[in-house]
Amino acid sequence: MALALKAEDISKQYRLGQVGTGTLSHDLNRFWHRIRGKEDPYLKIGESNDRSKKGESEYVWSLRDINFEIEQGDAVGIIGRNGAGKSTLLKLLSKVTKPTTGQIYTKGRIASLLEVGTGFHPEMTGRENIFLNGAILGMTRKEISRKFDEIVDFSGVERYIDTPVKRYSSGMYVRLAFAVAAHLESEILIVDEVLAVGDAEFQKKCLGKMGDVSKGEGRTVLFVSHNMAAVQNLCHNGIMLEQGLVKATGKIDKVLQHYLQPPSQEKVKLADVADRTGNGQLKFIDGHVKSGTSNDLIETFDSLIIELEYELQNPTKINQFKIDIGINNYMGDRIAWLSSDVVESNFNILDRKITFEVKDLPIAPGDYTINIYSQINNEVADWISQVLPFSIIEKDYYNTGKIVPENQGSMLLNFYVK
């Protein structure tokens, strides 16, 4: 399949505190090196874009050595934490700004929705801005007129279409801007987190339209969002950025799994977890998740054992108690719940340890974490989330020699076909 976008070793450098790339002396120095056929001296300096650290250099690499290829008709999610370089990358792909180094190759017209106000003239009406955006994309007035009613109907701002857009609310602005970008005949649609401004109903409508654009119309979609469920539903492939570098590419589920994987906590005792809630009457201090068989690895339909140790502050004043466990998939969604309160057992809270055992674990292969909750005398004693990560590995559980494909749900059913 033909390529829609290709990035070759693209990087973007900024100088902190400056509008341009540097001072006159820096520009002259660059010019002097260029006419002598030498490399820009300022490309050798600079730091990664880590916002949490002060740093020493006045130059920062917002992106560094980015390479990828996107095929026509693909829907690609670009994910990463704040400051990872997502918006900078979209601006480069949209040709809003130029890369410091590297080349970007595109095939077809690009429609971008990067931030509220992009591409609209505030003094012009909604109607005039629709025709202006179409003209920028190289469309004729006749082509734009053919799409005009559909754009206005989708945006839901018909009553204000002849009002200058500077008087629009941010939600109205985004509605019209998205409608224009999605309906005008561009081969590539680039959408940033700007959709978060709209209400839930309109966000759902936009996601549906982007799905139609990608799957039905064969146009290429690049989508940045912190809504991982939306990214997973819309996109086939993904690119994960971290501090200006590409950390993962490929199928969206694999990239999301890499992005959402919690920090390694195998060596961290529960006693050292700082992010917790509760009055401290009970405090979890250690825990282990393991297979109930002799295997070191946990397989589907093995028994699963979760062992917890805890401290008690006032053991003589306990009238009511329970300990709950929630099992989460790599998306952070709860898939199972266990509680000492709903089963009969000989568990004694004064033992300061508890063991949960799940027989014939019907959970699909993947990475998981657990939430641990304790309640004493109807008050929360200790509550910590997404700790004790563990993995479940593949297994020929249907005895057919075939493995269930990934991402077909969290649970595996024991079923028959007649």
Q: What proportions of the chain, in percent to the nearest 5, are helix, strand and coil?
A: 30, 35, 40
In degrees rounded to 5, what are phi and psi of residue 159?
A: -65, -25
CA angle 286, 358, 402 (to 5 degrees): 115
Q: With 70 as the cut, is the pLDDT of residue 137 above it?
A: yes
| pTM, to two decimals | 0.61
Q: Give the tens place of pLDDT for each residue, 193-219.
A: 766 666 777 777 888 888 888 877 888
Q: How many CB atoms lie within 10 A of CB 359?
A: 10
Domains present along the chain, CATH in parentheses: 69-260 (3.40.50.300), 270-393 (2.70.50.60)
In degrees rounded to 5, what are phi and psi of residue 228?
A: -65, -30
Q: Give the tens place of pLDDT for each residue, 69-113.
A: 999 989 999 998 878 889 899 989 988 888 888 999 998 888 887
Radius of gyration of the chain (CA): 27
pLDDT value, residue 392: 83
pLDDT above 90 covers a percentage of the chain that reads 28
Could you tell me which of 299, 310, 392 has the C-alpha nearest to residue 347? Answer: 310
Rounded Cα distance, 221 and 19, in Å: 31
Residues 6+ apart with CB under 8 A from 295: 302
Q: With 70 as the cut, is the pLDDT of residue 264 above it?
A: no
Could you tell me which of 18, 26, 66 has the C-alpha nearest to residue 43? Answer: 26
Q: With 60 as the cut, is the pLDDT of residue 378 above it?
A: yes
**Mean pLDDT, rounded, for 57-73:** 85
Q: How confident is the model at residue 376 (pLDDT cuts 50, 70, 90)?
A: very high
Residue type present at position 373? Y
**Mean pLDDT, rounded, for 381-406:** 80
Q: With 80 as the cut, is the pLDDT of residue 331 above it?
A: no
Poorest-pLDDT segment among 201-215, 270-284, 306-320: 201-215
Q: Looking only at Cα atoms, what is the longest distance across the chain? A: 83
Q: Give the tens place of pLDDT for each residue, 151-198.
A: 999 988 899 999 999 999 878 888 888 888 888 878 898 888 766 666
Poorest-pLDDT segment among 31-45, 140-154, 235-249: 31-45
